Amino acid sequence: MVRVRGFLFDRHLLSSYPTPIPAICVGNVAVGGTGKTPHAAYLLRMLSEHYKVAYLSRGYKRLTRGFLLADDNTTALDIGDEAMLIHSRFPDIPVAVDKDRLRGIRKLKEAFPQLQVVVLDDAMQYRRLTGTLNILLTQADNLYCNDHYLPLGRLRDDPRQARRADVVIVTKCPNDISEQQKQEIQHALCLRPQQELYFSQIRYMPLSPLFGADDVIDLATVDNDSHNVTLVTAIAQPQYLYNQLLSDYPNLKFVGYADHHYFTADELNRLSESELVITTEKDATRLRLLQDELEPELRKRLFVVPIEVTISNNNKLNLKILNYVTDNSTDS
């Protein structure tokens, strides 16, 4: 089915339309876990230093429909956890959701006439747009060229669609990845001459309180060898974070739910005996919905581990992106 769909778009039997303003698509051909949202955050931070930029996603698992622009009263229920994470990190950047990305870009441009570029999160499969700069993500330990379609593997799209990417970023690389390993990955991907390849790594930041800095436990008092430190999360691939935290908390407990799961107060209050409860930024957007229903002691012990990505040879990547925006801007 996905091959037929791709064929119809490739042969222009299904219609596509040029993007109204420069748009950078961050996507993949596999289901979640490749790191789209932190890479989108990287782009927003870089682009905001040069242009008027906005963020647009479909708002997966939200309870609303159509186009919605985030404001001070927006929650994850309105725009989904990924868009809410971006809205929390970048409150001064327009954040919107719309399954119809073409309509979403047009409405963003109407609302913000000075808008110069849009970052599209998870839009590789949205073929109605042309003229975008496509950035394809694939995990170092599960390259799309070695993967299989669901349910045998994690592919949700034809891996041959990777040829549409202008940039391929191999994500979640080990910190000690060697040049030989990079060359082996490059050989396996068989990229086209015009496609550029980069490698990125996750950088885990210090823990921060989920509900602000007031009346929380002092992390220095937590016994790292305690059996009462818990990681609770509902993300696609929690093993990377779990393994990272094990170096600090060797007896770490793990409580996991399906990706994008909306927690209940009962599920969280079961952890009220934990000395420390750690979660992710994406989970935090959903956990904040329960603030008034959680046990007071649990609220004091809930901490978030923020993440950022570092990209090899990022100056070259940044220049490519900036040149794309400049060359395709109607103001240039």
The mean per-residue pLDDT over the stretch 98-104 comes to 96
Mean pLDDT, rounded, of the chain: 94
Same domain, 152 and 134: yes
What is the tally of structural domains in the chain? 2
Give the three-state DSSP class for 239: helix
Q: Are residues 140 and 289 in the same domain?
A: no
Q: What percent of the chain has pLDDT over 90?
A: 81
93 neighbors 56 (Cβ within 8 angstroms): no
Q: Phi and psi (nearest 5°) for 256?
A: -120, 150
Q: Across residues 51-60, what is the average pLDDT? A: 96
Q: 158: helix, coil or strand?
A: coil
CA nearest to 231, candidates 270, 278, 191: 278
- What Rg, from alpha-carbon coordinates, does the chain have? 20
Question: Do 211 and 198 reside in the same domain of the chain?
Answer: no
The pLDDT tens digits for 137-172 are: 999 999 999 999 898 898 998 898 899 999 999 999
Q: Write out pLDDT tens, residues 307-317.
A: 999 999 999 99
Within its chain, how far is the Cα of 83 from the centroid? 9
Q: Residue 265, CB half-sphere, CA atoms under 13 Å: how many?
A: 9
2: left (phi over 0), alpha (psi -120 to 50) or beta: alpha
Residue 33's pLDDT band (boundaries 50, 70, 90)?
confident
Pair (116, 255) in one structural domain: no
Same domain, yes or no, for 178 and 90?
A: yes
Q: Which residue has the tokens 């940039």?
A: 167
Lookup: tokens for 317:
């990547």
**332 pLDDT higher than 50:** no
Cβ atoms < 10 Å from Cβ of 222: 18
CATH number at 70 reads: 3.40.50.300
Is residue 326's pLDDT more than 90? yes
Q: Which residues of 175-214 are buried (b: 16+ CB within 10 A; e: fewer)?
A: eeeeeeebeebeeebebeeebebbbbbbeeeebebbbeee
What separation in angstroms does the CA of 19 have from each of 49, 128, 174, 277, 306?
A: 22, 9, 36, 44, 32
Same domain for 297 and 314?
A: no
DSSP H helical ranges for 190-259: 239-246
3-state SS assignment for residue 305: strand
- Strand order from edge to edge, sheet including 23-27: 68-69, 95-97, 53-57, 117-121, 23-27, 133-139, 167-171, 196-204, 307-311
Same domain as 97, residue 10: yes
> Are residue 44 and residue 70 in the same domain, yes or no?
yes
Q: What is the arithmetic mean of pLDDT over 239-244? A: 94
Q: Which of 65-69, 178-182, 224-228, 260-264 has the lowest mean pLDDT?
A: 224-228
Residues 160 and 285 in one domain: no
Decide: pTM greater than 0.75.
Answer: yes
**Any idea which residue has 């919605």 for tokens?**
68
CA-angle at 142, arms to 140 and 148, nearest 5°: 155
pLDDT at 213 over 80: no
Please check whether residues 293 and 271 belong to one and the same domain: yes
The answer, yes or no, to whether residue 94 has pLDDT greater than 50, is yes
Residues 287 and 319 in one domain: no
Domain around 249: 206-305
331 — pLDDT class (breaks 50, 70, 90): low
Predicted confidence at residue 8, as pLDDT, reads: 87
Q: Are residues 99 and 225 in the same domain?
A: no
> Could you give the CA distance from residue 35 to residue 46 in angstroms, rounded to a whole number?
17
Mean pLDDT on 178-182: 96
Confidence of residue 32 (pLDDT cuts 50, 70, 90): confident
Band of residue 215 on the pLDDT scale cut at 50, 70, 90: confident
Quote the pLDDT of residue 173.
Answer: 96
Strand partners, 53: 117
Average pLDDT over residues 266-278: 94
